[in-house]
A and B are shown apart, each in its own frame.
Chain A
């Protein structure tokens, strides 16, 4: 199993630009999560999907953030427009309904907004 695959691994962009992060969950997993990790706030859940449907997006910081899951094997997290305070490592994770608490994480995307 290839695990959760995220792209790109690193992204440097200028303030105001649109940023799109991508995730391919583990095949067969029903849940997909987007987390953000910073030194100040640690790991925070932004949004999660169940069977491609967004269930809870209360962790999304602002309207500048949006996430989609058009099918079971792909999800995107978009920031438009990006700001320096969005700089962080963004993780995608997935789990399956049999052990839905056990999330498997991707390697993350390190985003730097300058």
Chain B
């Protein structure tokens, strides 16, 4: 079945460090890909998305590029802030049905 694999956390960084969170997927067909973020005590929020190969999603300084050849959608940010501390989920879905299939999440901890 369709699945998403994320790197295990926690990822611990100092403020202004470069962030990469790896995400790969297995799917029959060509899904849309998403990154969701869950801040402490809050609900899931869509961070960015990409709907086809080579698309780059970006938001709030975060970026991810849909790589069909490596079935990956790695999340990157050039300079993290303490306020970026949260759990990040990679997910996929297919047009029409739209059920989201999530990875297990990666906790990011940013220290001042």
- A joins B in a complex: no
Q: Chain A: residues with CB nearer than 8 A to chain B? A: none
